[in-house]
Amino acid sequence: MRICTIVGARPQFVKAAVVSRALAEAGIEEILVHTGQHYDPTLSRVFFDELGIPEPAVNLEVGSGTHAVQTGAIMERFEQYLMDEPAVEAVVVYGDTNSTLAGALVAAKLHLPLAHVEAGLRSFNRMMPEEVNRIVADRLAQWLFCPTSTAVDNVHREGLTEGVHLIGDVMLDATRFFADQAATRCPLDALTKHASQGYYLATVHRAENTDDPARLAGIFDGLGRLDGPVLLPLHPRTRTRLVGIALSPNVELMEPVSYLAMLTLTRHARRVLTDSGGLQKEAFWLGVPCITLRDETEWVETLENGWNQRVGSDPEAIVAAALRTPTGPPRAFGEAPGGTASEQIARVLLQDLDRD
């Protein structure tokens, strides 16, 4: 049994780290294809080295570009790779990036069954390219691996009922598996001079923020008004957009950090401010209040009792949210109903592909 997994961005590397392990334990041979969507070593190579992800069989080296250029380049090169690997029985894609969209389209054109991990997520904002990618991948997938009951409800409302599996969140698997390793391999004092709870942690990378000068300026204005230092590991795309934006002295820009380092920084932060979907969840699971720098979130479960607050890019809203505290305990979500999410993915694929 041989499947092909296509990944291209750091959240996908983290998910693949736990799913690839489960696939191997189930006796499923996996070929890993790296699109090269993230090509900076701090956003790519370090994840393979740190998380024990199998070495990719090939790097498509597509680099950056517009959505159409990047998606088209991945499709062209991935299609050729799969045509040269006739023994592949299925394709696995993760999340909502251009790598996800391209992988899904190529699998459909080559009549290969498709598994979409993190199916059913919706922001209900089609101005976001990620939303379009999710919808297309779900429509093409034979296996829709949903992390939450909300995600299941979303695809059911869209008329998708076959092959829908509520399996829990593979990011929860990763957080649990790697959190203790992070504490020993990436201690806080090796990452920052600030003490635990002595700083805010922020990330800004989504195009809706980085490509809108007014939104980006509003976010950095809000960060500059916070009552303490703000550590901000800077995505390369964001760095290029900061020209002309005045940075407050309390905003401390950092180079991108590894996944384990990010877990440590998150666990010890006073608050997390982010437009990342994955970091919203990791903060929640690590018991750290989160402020989402977007107008919507796919992870509505995190909003309960104020553990996550949506503030967009308004500076005053950012400051006000940082002063609030949760009103009750966090509600567990992302739990797998029968074993870990990764184990269930491997089990379903093994059963269904064996049946075929």
- Return the sign of the alpha-carbon dihedral for residues 17, 116, 62, 254: negative
Parallel, antiparallel or unpaired: strands 114-117 and 143-146:
parallel
Report in angstroms the alpha-carbon separations of 292 from 132, 193, 199, 275, 318. 21, 25, 17, 6, 9
Gyration radius of the chain's alpha carbons = 20
Look at residue 356 in the predicted model and tell me its pLDDT.
64
pLDDT in tens, 144-201: 999 999 999 999 999 999 999 999 999 999 999 999 899 999 999 999 999 999 999 9
> What is the value of pTM for the model shown?
0.91
Residues 6+ apart with CB under 8 A from 48: 13, 55, 56
CA distance 311 to 321: 8
pLDDT of 92 reads 98
The topology under which CATH files domain 2-169+336-355 is Rossmann fold (3.40.50)
Is 111 an annotated catalytic residue?
A: no
Could you give the residue range(s) of every CATH 3.40.50.2000 domain in the chain?
Answer: 2-169+336-355, 176-323
Q: What is the dihedral of CA 244, 250, 252, 258, to 10 degrees?
A: -130
pLDDT of residue 39: 55
Residue type, 237: R
**What pLDDT does 85 receive?**
83
pLDDT at 42: 56
Give the max Cα distance, the chain: 61
> Which letter does DSSP use for residue 2 in this model?
E
Which residues are CB-contacts of 202 (< 8 A; sequence separation ≥ 6)? 223, 230, 231, 232, 251, 272, 273, 274, 293
Q: Which two tokens stand for residue 3?
A: 């499947």
Is residue 97 within 8 Å of residue 16, measured between CB atoms? Answer: no
pLDDT of the residue at 304: 95
**263 within 8 A of 286, measured Cβ to Cβ:** yes
- Written as six digits, the tokens of 158 are 């869209």
What pLDDT does residue 294 have?
A: 96
H or E, element range at 117:
strand 114-117
Q: How far is the C-alpha of 127 from the C-alpha of 207, rounded, in Å?
A: 11
Give the HSE-up count for residue 19: Cα atoms under 13 Å, Cβ half-sphere. Answer: 33
> pLDDT under 70 in the chain at which residues?
38-44, 356
Integer Cα distance of 155 and 120 in angstroms: 5
Given the residues 194, 205, 235, 268, select the one marked as catalytic: 205
**Main-chain dihedrals φ then ψ at residue 53, nearest 5 degrees:** -75, 140
Identify the architecture of domain 176-323 in CATH: 3-Layer(aba) Sandwich (3.40)
Short-list 167, 142, 144, CA closest to 154: 144
